[in-house]
Amino acid sequence: MNQRRKIFNDPVYGFVSVPHGLLLTLIDHPYFQRLRRIRQLGLSSYVYPGALHTRFHHALGALHLMQETINVLRSKGVEITDQESEGVCVAILLHDIGHGPFSHALEHALVDLHHEALSLMFMKALNKELNGQLDLAIAIFTNQYPKKFLYQLVSGQLDMDRMDYLNRDSFFTGVSEGVIGYDRIIIMLDVHNGELVVEEKGMYSIEKFLTARRLMYWQVYLHKTGVAAEQMLIHLLARARELALEGKELDAPRDLARFLYRRPDEHWPEEKLLKHYARLDDTDLTACVKYWCDAEDPLLSYLSTGLLDRRLFRLQWLNEPLDEQSRTGILDQIGAMLPHLTPDKLLYEGRESIQAYNEAKAPIRILFKNGEVKNLTECSDVQLFTQPVTKYFVCYPKISIH
């Protein structure tokens, strides 16, 4: 076996090496190269200036961990054929290929499809182009393949997606609290009755993994400044669409304009959707923000300038929705400060639920030395963040006192 490999430098793992063949063909495809232009953490670089890493790099990293996991499992006697190995590697490589510019939230502003559905659409298109070479990967990705643990490695509580992104996001933000012992977790993985399990000795690492995940939510993914920026972008885009539907002319890159002026719906043939969608990336939105600083519409211009020059809104997390009185108070202040704008177009509310570990949906299973297997919550005596926590936010321009 003389299998040449291409090497990608990765500050997180040192190297990611990819065998020549199907995997490299996919990486070289323009669909995948597009991920070089989509950041993993959207606007979080406003808070963590190092967090500029892309979904391209994340996908390579997840592939790397998958390759390591396959080695570990095989060394423990788990049978994984070369075809299955390639299939599960393709599945993890492409798991995010349908991701749109910036965050999930923004996705919905552009298309009425979940990014996983879009990823599947991309995979099918690639499969067609490559004469069915992705059949097995698609079966795994959609949980149609008999060996369930392969699916769990792609999409589960301990999948290679999470393992890489926690690790990578922690690395590039510099938030050391998010560091997980991914290598120890991987080394503790095994398969029992066709399902992924963790050896007993790995339990502390799993506890730590869940703690780190929860922490990354509040410290990074839902950091108030990052969410504020995202809210501004969402409302900026919503405003642009409003204007577009009113027939106003707006400067915008052609690729984005298509989605601005007419939202894809069931009448768009899949092929057309894919063709246009496959050209969208973060730079289209940044281009818009830059164009719209000079927009005639004062709201659009206000939001754009704020976003471009990082004059971001204030955001607060609350345990309950904003009460009426506070809302009125804030609106009054906004009105006083920005008399040329409509206050309620500048006050955004919403909520987020997080649950670091959803045992009901997909339990993490612990394998004991005596062969017994138990759900994690049955064995651990610490808080595992299995209950969803909901918080409410309110977001509006910083009130400056003159």
Q: Which of residues 22-51 bind its own copies (CB under 8 A)?
A: 28, 30, 33, 36-37, 45, 47-50
Question: What are the backbone angles phi and psi of residue 342, rounded to the nearest 5°?
Answer: -85, 115
- Footprint of its own copies on 367-396 (CB under 8 A): 381-383, 385, 389
Minimum distance between the CB of residue 218 and its own copies, rounded to whole angstroms?
Answer: 6
Closest distance to its own copies from the beta carbon of 336 (Å):
23
Under the binding rule (CB under 8 A), the answer on residue 122 touching its own copies is no
Closer CB to its own copies, residue 253 or residue 343?
A: 253
Residue with tokens 């007993």: 200
- CA distances to 108, 137, 214, 391, 401 from 228, rounded to whole Å, are 17, 38, 20, 15, 20
247 binding its own copies? (CB under 8 A): no
Cβ pair 288, 256 in contact under 8 A: yes
Using the minimum distance from each CB to its own copies, give the nearer residue, 197 or 212.
Answer: 212
Residues 248-267 that bind its own copies (CB under 8 A): 251, 253-255
Q: Which is nearer to its own copies, 138 or 196 (CB)?
A: 196
Answer yes or no whether residue 176 interacts with its own copies by CB under 8 A: yes
Shortest distance, position 139 Cβ to its own copies, whole Å: 26
391: part of which helix (H) or strand (E)?
A: strand 389-396
Residues 86 and 136: beta-carbon distance below 8 Å: yes
Taking the C-alpha atoms of residue 51 and residue 282, their distance in angstroms, rounded to an integer, is 14
Longest Cα separation, the chain:
73
- 172 is a contact residue toward its own copies (CB under 8 A): yes
**Whether the Cβ atoms of residue 274 and residue 126 lie closer than 8 Å to each other:** no
Nearer to its own copies, 140 or 180 (CB): 180
By beta-carbon proximity to its own copies, the closer residue of 3 and 325 is: 3
DSSP 148-192: HHHHHHHSSTT-HHHHHHHHHHHHHHT-GGG---HHHHHHHEEEE
Does position 173 bind its own copies by CB under 8 A? Answer: yes
Under the binding rule (CB under 8 A), the answer on residue 6 touching its own copies is no
Regarding 133 and contact with its own copies (CB under 8 A), the answer is no
Question: Would you count residue 320 as binding its own copies (CB under 8 A)?
Answer: no
Q: What are the structure tokens assigned to 283, written together?
A: 């730079």
Q: How far is the CB of 209 from its own copies (least distance, A)?
A: 9
Which of positions 213-242 make contact with its own copies (CB under 8 A)? 214-215, 218-219
CA-to-CA distance for 80 and 188, rounded, in angstroms?
17
For residues 192 and 276, the answer to whether their CB atoms sit within 8 Å is: no
**DSSP letter for each residue of 190-253:** EEETTEEEEEGGGHHHHHHHHHHHHHHIIIIIT-HHHHHHHHHHHHHHHHHHHHHHTT------
Binding marks (x or -) toward its own copies, 278..317, rule CB under 8 A? -x---xx-xx--xx--x-------------xxx-------
CB of 57 to its own copies, least distance (A): 5
Out of 93, 126, 187, 196, point to the residue binding its own copies (CB under 8 A): 187
Stretch that binds its own copies, among 122-130, 201-209, 260-268, 369-377 (CB under 8 A): 201-209
For its own copies, the binding residues in 54-83 under the rule CB under 8 A are 54, 56-57, 60, 74-77
CB closer to its own copies out of 187 and 197: 187
Looking at the DSSP bridge assignments, the partners of residue 390 are 353
Query: How many of the other CB atoms lie within 10 Å of CB of 201?
Result: 14
Candidates 205, 236, 258, 346; binder of its own copies (CB under 8 A) is 205
Which phi and psi (to 5°) does residue 394 adopt? Answer: -135, 140
Write down the least CB distance from residue 114 to its own copies, Å.
25
Pick the closest to residue 321 from 390, 233, 252, 232 (CA basis): 390
**Residue 359, interface with its own copies (CB under 8 A)?**
no
